[in-house]
Each structure stands twice: as C-alpha cells, then as structure tokens.
Amino acid sequence: MRPTIINEDDYAEKFWKHDFEVWVGPHSGPYIINADHEQDALDYLIDWAEENAPGLLFDQEEEAEEEFLDDYYCGGNHGRYLSETEISIKTVR
C-alpha cells in the first residue's frame, strides 16, 4: 500500500525532527507525517483527516453520544477523536 504524506513540503526534512509512519486501525494507512514528536504527528493527522478522510474520525454527533471516549485518541485543533483505538506509530527518520 502506498503511503499518504500528510504535511509534505520543500522544507519538511529540514524543519521537522522526524518522519513518522502512522496506521489507524489495521487497514487505514500508512500515513507519513513530519513532526517533532509522536503527539504532534497524531495532531497533524487528525487535522488533516477533518478535511481529507473524515472516516478516520468519529462524527461530532457520535462523539457527543459515546460514553467510552477515554479509550480513543483525541487531538488536533478542534479536539476530534480518531475512530479506532488501535494506532501504530513508528519513527522512520
């Protein structure tokens, strides 16, 4: 499967400390994200998913109804939740 590069630009390798490969659940990914830390990488992924892959996130009505959201990762600029609890992240650079 070909990776999706989330925040690629001409300065990514010079600006960010690492490239992370992220899988959300067993079938969604890989996503390559340039960031300084794993937390930042997941935040960038959530922000990107709002516009480009909303299926990776709970919709806002589901978020309001879910009682067990503590099991899910929340992040990004709008505090959205990833729809999977299985997240794999590794440093590739």
pLDDT in tens, 24-80: 987 787 999 989 899 999 999 999 999 998 889 987 777 767 677 788 889 999 999
**Cα 32 from Cα 35, distance rounded (Å):** 10
Q: How confident is the model at residue 11 (pLDDT cuts 50, 70, 90)?
A: low
Summarize pLDDT for 79-93 with one digit per residue, the tens: 998 988 889 999 988
Rounded CA separation 80/62 (Å): 11
- Determine the pLDDT at residue 9: 65
Model pTM score: 0.84
- Specify whether the CB–CB gap between 20 and 46 falls below 8 A: no
Q: Give the span between the Cα atoms of 51 and 15, in whole angstroms.
A: 24
3-state secondary structure of 75: strand
